Copies of this chain bind each other. A is one copy, B any other.
Amino acid sequence: MRIARVVGTAVSTVKEASLVGHKLLLVRETDEHNEVLGPVFVAVDVVGVGPDELVLVSEGSAARHAATTTGQPVDAVIMGVLDSLEVGGTVTFRRV
């Protein structure tokens, strides 16, 4: 899973029927220090996250294996909110 930061939201009215009701968030991959590594992409939120949270994103077919995404045409889902990250004995990120 990739570490990503929630940076915004996307709105889409005309869309595949099975996507209706999902919250579409804009996220960017980050490293263990919450530094951005890559471009914005869209992930479905199934856990209820807030702005600027660091989250865990599952991609590919894994994205269809959350309780509320079964069989849906999604390829990136936020599966968890990150509380802390620790590398080599040092806490590099802590949720505030």
Please report A residues at the B interface, Cβ cutoff 8 Å.
Answer: 1-3, 7-19, 24, 26, 29, 31-32, 37, 39-43, 46-49, 56, 58-67, 69, 71-77, 79-88, 92
Contact = CB atoms under 8 A, between A and B. Distances in A.
A73 B62 contact: yes
Given A62-B75, A80-B15, A41 B87 contact: no
Q: In this complex, which of A3, A48, A63, A75 has the most chain B Cβ atoms within 10 angstroms of its Cβ?
A: A75
Q: In this complex, which of A14, A83, A92 has the most chain B Cβ atoms within 10 angstroms of its Cβ?
A: A14
Given A1-B75, A12-B80, A14-B81, A60 B61 contact: yes
A85 to B, nearest CB: 5
